[in-house]
Amino acid sequence: MDRRPIGVFDSGLGGLTVLKELCRVLPNENFIYFGDTGRVPYGSRSTETITKYARQDMRFLQTFDIKAVVVACCTVSSLWKSIQNEYSIPSVSVVAPSARHASETTTNGRIGVIGTAATINSRAFEIELKRLLPHAEVFSAACPLFVPLVENGRIHPGDKVIELVACEYLEPFLTFGCDTLVLGCTHFPLLWRIISDILPQVNLINPGVSAANELIRILKENELLSDSDSTGSVSYYVSDDTGNFSELASLFMEQNITNSVSKVDIDEYRGEERYHEG
């Protein structure tokens, strides 16, 4: 029994779609969520910059006595393997669990992946899918306009703008004939209805659900589960103004979020880079 919190981080508030799934399956756990709202988006940045930001985000989370960490951001998850060994606590990124989920779901071996430009360029999902299912055919596409559209609440069927953009991005997947599509970005599960209207026969993989199952497995394996009598909690931290937190957090968590949120100066967690950069 271990009541220490679990750290969860993302480039912004999109990672709350992952947190929502974690809280659903692990109601006795305490979570500390950090959203780097001052530097979002990560998905259009270089590997070097994303890696630097991820290390700073981790440095902040490690100021709490966290027992495990969930990398909610798919963009950071795509490069997590390269820095994972820098940390001694167990970590869950969304790539391996959702690739496993997709490989177990497909029947025709044709799998689609959508994400930010950085995620797709990294080929992380594709590499993992082919490792698990060598005969799989994987078709990937970046869908960068989905992120700002979701953040502006353009998620509802009947909204002409999101429907037009989604048709353009997703029609190649119809031609490709995939039966499974990985929603490889924190924001995309909110477009579930829009996407399934365009790809009605396709199984959609929500990385938050896959990561939550993997977290349960890892906590059990390491004997880190909290006790089943305690009620879990969430503490929220962001790196920019907290003014519109409730509104955006409620959008991503799909429930009314009235919790308080604290602002963090993430620059204070630059560590050694501070000295190199001068």
Residues assigned a catalytic role: 73, 185
Q: Which of 14, 97, 189, 208 binds ligand DGL (CB under 6 A)?
A: 14
- Check residue 119 for interaction with ligand DGL (CB under 6 A): yes
Nearer residue to ligand DGL within complex by CB, 56 or 226: 56
Span of 163-171, 183-191, 230-238, 266-274 interacting with ligand DGL by CB under 6 A: 183-191
Cα distance between residue 252 and residue 179, in whole Å: 26
Residue length of the chain: 278
Q: Which residues touch 129 (CB under 8 Å, ≥6 apart)?
A: 99, 102, 103, 111, 113, 136, 138
Determine if 147 is a binding residue for ligand DGL (CB under 6 A). yes
Q: How far is the CB of 220 from ligand DGL (least distance, A)?
A: 26
Residue closest to ligand DGL when measured from CB atoms: 43
Please say which residue, 40 or 111, places its beta carbon nearer to ligand DGL.
Answer: 40
Q: Please, which residue, 170 or 224, has the CB nearer to ligand DGL?
A: 170
- Of residues 67-106, which lie at the interface with ligand DGL (CB under 6 A)? 73-75
Q: Which stretch binds ligand DGL (CB under 6 A): 40-48, 100-108, 159-167, 223-231?
A: 40-48
Round to whole Å and give the CA distance between 109 and 107: 6
DSSP code of residue 64:
S
Spatial contact of 78 and 122, defined as CB atoms under 8 Å apart: yes
Q: Is 18 in the site for ligand DGL (CB under 6 A)?
A: no
> Using CB atoms within 10 A of its CB, is residue 258 exposed (0-12), middle (13-18) or buried (19+)?
exposed
116 binds ligand DGL (CB under 6 A): yes
Nearest to 95 by CA among 106, 112, 80, 117: 80
Q: How far is the CB of 214 from ligand DGL (least distance, A)?
A: 16
Residue 211, burial from CB neighbour count under 10 angstroms (0-12, 13-18, 19+): buried
- Classify residue 270 as exposed, middle or buried by CB count within 10 Å of its CB (0-12, 13-18, 19+): middle
Assess 11 for contact with ligand DGL (CB under 6 A). Answer: yes
Residues that bind ligand DGL (CB under 6 A): 10-12, 14, 40-43, 73-75, 115-116, 119, 147, 185-187
